[in-house]
A and B are shown apart, each in its own frame.
Chain A
């Protein structure tokens, strides 16, 4: 068995080399042979092969048979098994959304704890996001563990508080920027309270609210958020959240002069994911969904990889990790990149819901 294989291999390679040499030395000859009208065109061959392989369309079914099939499809769609499956899907999607809210809340908790400590808690309101994000994290973890397909009023209230705190935080941070000398200047956008940060807490609240809506669907109904199909609404929220997070990464990586080439990644990969997610919201097709799904997965991984890059960034500053009390505060923030992961996971859960919405 071995020898014929080796001989075939040798012959194939010799033919390949011969073809290559011929292409280089006698290109005109090759072109004339290939374009010869005596040879069949590649396209014609492919079309003929496809025609031969695909079976002919079946003859139309008799009237009673087609109606019976239609009826059986409807029965299947409203069968208890199908309903249970749909319910299982929304429950699962709800728990996944709880999970992404948990990740975002963790990111906000760690980031605001470090940055507000650095800000010496100069304003008493700076304790608020610590409390709400800790509650959101706890509630979301509870939501992930909770198998009941029901919304939970305490969780729902916590998520509402998180959204309100996030929006309030945006106002506080805008005030902090505007009250400084120079007002709305690049310097203040770089070094005053980061305008994008509270946005993450608002998103955790919104996604959490969405999760509770999705979990709490009466039988035979599709989950809705704000009167629209839940999947599409939440996908739109995730896409907008990604856009905001990209904006913050772009601002701060620009401040860092993109000194490491990897700093370009969060302003190139997530925008594609956000755009594809937005496109899937605008025009949901199976193909668009699949493409968006892959870019969202890459974005989720990038969020985790970003922590690694930021750990490396801290080690590169003077004194490295031994000088952590300086570099952890002044270096790249470790808790920031997982925001991308949280939003990408939310986008993936929303896409699952959307697929269920479109195929029935």
Chain B
């Protein structure tokens, strides 16, 4: 797919009036995360978690700084910083993930004779689809409904981790944190000079030039 925001880099705003010290500190910490670092997931669980993230939010192979999605979810679980709410049909956040990762690997082994991360992309997708529709062996999941876990825990945590990273912001033309400078042109189809410019088909050069000035 063609880049809709050619040349846009949200990090160009780092030293502009858009960000202050607090904003810089938060984003720097997020950017410094080691993609292989895991404190909550065990070494056995880690490859499964990475493989799941790669299927839920696949990233272009040529991306210079891909979002370390699995490490971001791990950090959230390690600090046990919950959302303040959860679906009552699921156990607590940490328990749900531990039990689900074990169940997913067991499901993969019983169906295909290999662990989840050893499967090809197509088989991985098949298995994730089965979990999404609840067509799994209920013995392995216990009293936790696989369908609800997929919907309310797995998708929620993985996708929000991905869209909390500047790599995803660049992809969707999001301006990132608006602190302290927010936006002043707030009507439809208006753009502040510090917002990403979306390319109209055939006018990519114009958007690229405008995005070079974002800051």
Contact = CB atoms under 8 A, between A and B. Distances in A.
A325 B181 contact: yes
B22 to A, nearest CB: 11
A329 B184 contact: yes
Nearest to A192: B187
A319 interface: yes
A323 B17 contact: yes
A326 B180 CA distance: 9
B179 interface: yes
Contacts of B79: none
Contact of A326 (B184, B186, B190, B191): B184
A318 B17 contact: no
A305 to B, nearest CB: 26
B185 A118 contact: yes
Contacts, number: 30
A331 to B, nearest CB: 10
B20 interface: yes
B190 A318 contact: no
A171 to B, nearest CB: 19
B58 interface: no
Nearest to A122: B190
Interface string B168-198: 0000000000011110111000110000000
A321 to B, nearest CB: 11
B179 A318 contact: yes
A26 interface: no
A318 B180 contact: yes
Contacts of B179: 318
B185 A326 contact: no
Interface string A188-201: 00010000000000
Interface residues of B, number: 11
Nearest to B191: A120
A324 B186 CA distance: 17
Contacts of B184: 118, 326, 329-330
B17 A322 contact: yes
Interface in B7-27: 17, 20
Interface string A294-328: 00000000000000000000000011001111100
A341 to B, nearest CB: 27
Interface string A164-203: 0000000000000000000000000001000000000000
B20 to A, nearest CB: 7
A330 B181 CA distance: 10
Contacts of B20: 319
Contacts of A122: 190
A329 B192 CA distance: 11
Nearest to A319: B180
Nearest to A317: B180
Contacts of A318: 179-180
Contacts of A325: 17, 181
Contacts of B17: 319, 322-326
A330 B20 CA distance: 18
Contacts of A119: 185, 190
B185 A120 contact: yes
Interface in A313-360: 318-319, 322-326, 329-330
B185 A323 contact: no
Nearest to B190: A120
Contacts of A120: 185, 190-191
Interface string B24-58: 00000000000000000000000000000000000
Contacts of A322: 17
A330 B192 CA distance: 12
A81 B75 CA distance: 92
A43 B168 CA distance: 88
Contacts of A330: 182, 184
B99 to A, nearest CB: 44
Instruction: Kindly name the residue among A191, A318, A322 whose own CB sees the greatest number of chain B CB atoms within 10 A.
Output: A318
B181 A323 contact: yes
25 contacts: A118-B184, A119-B190, A120-B185, A120-B190, A120-B191, A122-B190, A191-B186, A318-B179, A319-B17, A319-B20, A319-B180, A319-B181, A322-B17, A323-B180, A323-B181, A324-B17, A325-B17, A325-B181, A326-B180, A326-B181, A326-B182, A326-B184, A329-B184, A330-B182, A330-B184
Given A120-B191, A191-B186, A325-B17, 10 more contacts: A119-B185, A120-B185, A122-B190, A318-B179, A318-B180, A319-B20, A319-B180, A324-B17, A325-B181, A329-B184
Interface of B: 17, 20, 179-182, 184-186, 190-191
Top 8 A-B pairs, shortest CB-CB distance: A319-B180, A329-B184, A326-B181, A318-B180, A323-B180, A330-B184, A323-B17, A323-B181
